[in-house]
Amino acid sequence: MKGHKDNREFIAALEKTGDAVRIRQEVDWDMEAGAIVRRVCETKAPAPVMEKIKDYPGFRFMGAPLASYRRLAVSLGMDPRTRLPQIAEEYLKRTNSAPIAPVLVKKKDAPVKQNILLGDDADLCKLPAPLVHEGDGGRYIGTWHAVITKDPETESVNWGMYRQMMFDSKTMSGAVFPFSDLGKIFYEKYAPRGVAMPFATVIGPPPLAAVAACAPSPIPEPELTGMLMGEPIELVKCETCDLEVPAHAEIVIEGVILPDVRVEEGPFGEYTGYRTSPRENRITFYVKAITYRNDPIMTISNMGVPTDEGQLLRSFSLGLELDKLLRSQGIPITGVYMPPDSTHHVMIVGVKPRYSGIAQQIGQLAFGSKLGPWFHMVIVVDDTIDIYNWNEVFHALCTRCHPANDIHIHKNSVGTALNPYASAHERRYSMGSKVVFDCLWPPDWDPVNEVPTLVSFRTVYPKEIQEKVLANWSAYGFPAET
């Protein structure tokens, strides 16, 4: 099972499974395209491929590329009907394998070099940046992409998704938090020295490269992409700096982040489902070059009420990285899951409760990790609960969590500036409180006389009765379960 080398292969695969549709009538970049994508996210419809964009002949849009687990499965070369636990298992299998280094190809062999605009010709207005939501501060050119940068001291490369609004024909601006990987490099190693920081924005990267750019993995993103794809990703050198970009990307914007210039950015509809960040002066991306494929496809993610691909993939990869973290510390967990509908703010952990205080230990490890700023609720359940079944988790939360003894609040922790519940002061300084809900039976309770018996299909009937009922389900006249 291998991934797809570019979005064109990916779209063809999605069409075969019924997970993409082509829209051949003209679509307006001014909110119409955004509205289509938002509706797709909210109704779980197939990904739209818009073939004709108003004012921009030759350009196309692809919306919501990975906003469903079906499309994530297809991106991994799996059957779209594969269930989430099996997708997670495959992701862990691939990311626990040996790293697969990228390969560098010549520019003549890189589709993204089919068109090259340099200097004054590198004009952002030539690209169909959409106005994604009504009320946005501008047209957002980067919503599903990878911003590539390099640490000047270690030369480690970072791929990450940092939204980018077109400010004018030569500049973009975006929100980059100090605790992010790009933020650490820029604010600590470039800005204090007054040195411009090279960047390359990759729009429409191969689908698994986009997954890698979202994942909070310690594995370098080019190698992680290869591990997910099952083969090396092909990279090509930039035109104006020493960065390397996916050769089969759709569009690449090259330039520098100016150390001492700030321009206005925002507001923008956020992944939380709210518009929370104000219009403020933020870092400035100055454009030096644009390269793109013939008939390029601009990818669009529309953040808002769940589920879009940002929520789905960050919930997916963040949960699995936390799974690795807890296992590495010897915590007897059975799994970690972050529901996308929680906008990756809730972490559900299944555990074999072998000792007291394990829920608090899990919370402390998770909140204290590099990933801690991105979520603020941890629900810990025992191994009798299916962490992927919200009905079971919610029932455990409402019946096993003692209101006085089992809710543990951590005040004045690190949070994100986008939390809707946070005050203006908390948002400005990335502050946020966190909470652990301990839904485990006390370890000193007698399992026979004190722990209540769960009354459910799989707990109070003999195995042979369960199997008989399940085998005859369709014969009883019930529709087949999906």
Per-residue pLDDT in tens (0 to 9) along the chain, 482 residues:
778 999 999 999 999 999 999 999 999 999 999 999 999 999 999 999 999 999 999 999 999 999 999 999 999 999 999 999 999 999 999 999 999 999 999 999 999 999 999 999 999 999 999 999 999 999 999 999 999 999 999 999 999 999 999 999 999 999 998 888 999 999 999 999 999 999 999 999 999 999 999 999 999 999 999 999 999 999 999 999 999 999 999 999 999 999 999 999 999 998 888 888 889 999 999 999 999 999 999 999 999 999 999 999 999 999 999 999 999 999 999 999 999 999 989 999 999 998 999 999 999 999 999 889 889 999 999 999 999 999 999 999 999 999 999 999 999 888 877 888 888 888 888 888 999 999 999 999 998 899 998 888 888 899 999 999 999 989 988 887 65
Same domain, 160 and 111: yes
Same domain, 239 and 367: no
Q: The CATH number of the domain where 351 resides is what?
A: 3.40.1670.10
- Into how many domains does the chain fold? 2
With respect to residue 125, please indicate whether it lies within any of the assigned structural domains: yes
- C-alpha 25/C-alpha 255 separation (Å) is 34
Same domain, 381 and 426: yes
CA-CA-CA-CA dihedral for 305, 311, 316, 317, to nearest 10: -170
With respect to residue 446, please indicate whether it lies within any of the assigned structural domains: no
Same domain, 345 and 278: no
- State the pLDDT at residue 481: 66
Same domain, 216 and 365: no
- State the pLDDT at residue 178: 87
Residues 6+ apart with CB under 8 A from 309: 64, 65, 66, 67, 144, 210, 301
Same domain, 326 and 245: no
**Token couple for 333:** 């967990």
Same domain, 245 and 137: yes
The H or E element spanning position 391 is: helix 390-400
Q: Please, what's the b/e burial string for 108-144 (b: 16 or more CB within 10 A of its CB; e: otherwise)?
A: eebbbbeeebeeeebebeebbbbbbbeebbbbbbbbb
Task: Give me the residues paired with residue 158 across strands.
Answer: 149
- State the pLDDT at residue 219: 95
- State the pLDDT at residue 430: 81
Same domain, 267 and 137: yes
With respect to residue 456, please indicate whether it lies within any of the assigned structural domains: no
Write down which residue in 256, 272, 300 finishes a domain. 300
Same domain, 217 and 126: yes
Q: Is the peptide bond before 276 cis (omega within 30 degrees of 0)?
A: no
Closest CA to 185 of 257, 123, 247: 257
**Token couple for 59:** 């350009």
Task: Give me the residues paired with residue 145 across strands.
Answer: 203
Q: Are 246 and 181 in contact (CB under 8 A)?
A: no
DSSP symbols for 265-298: E-----TTSS--PPPEEEEEEEEEEEEE-SS-EE
Q: Give the range of the structural domain holding residue 401, as residue numbers without chain letter.
A: 309-438
Helix 84-95 vs helix 309-328: crossing angle, to nearest 10: 60
- State the pLDDT at residue 419: 82
**Residue recorded with tokens 């698994």:** 208
- C-alpha 361/C-alpha 70 separation (Å) is 34
With respect to residue 52, please indicate whether it lies within any of the assigned structural domains: no
With respect to residue 220, please indicate whether it lies within any of the assigned structural domains: yes
The H or E element spanning position 203 is: strand 197-203
Task: Give me the residues paired with residue 131 across strands.
Answer: 30
Same domain, 326 and 284: no
Write down which residue in 283, 300, 317 finishes a domain. 300
- C-alpha 403/C-alpha 151 separation (Å) is 47
The Cβ-side half-sphere exposure at 57, using a 13 Å CA radius, reads 0
Residues 6+ apart with CB under 8 A from 57: none
Same domain, 293 and 333: no
With respect to residue 70, please indicate whether it lies within any of the assigned structural domains: no
With respect to residue 224, please indicate whether it lies within any of the assigned structural domains: yes
Q: The CATH number of the domain where 151 resides is what?
A: 2.30.110.10
Instruction: Tell me whether strands 431-438 and 377-382 are parallel, antiparallel or unpaired.
Output: parallel
Same domain, 190 and 274: yes
Write down which residue in 414, 438, 462 finishes a domain. 438
With respect to residue 202, please indicate whether it lies within any of the assigned structural domains: yes
Secondary structure (3-state) at 320: helix
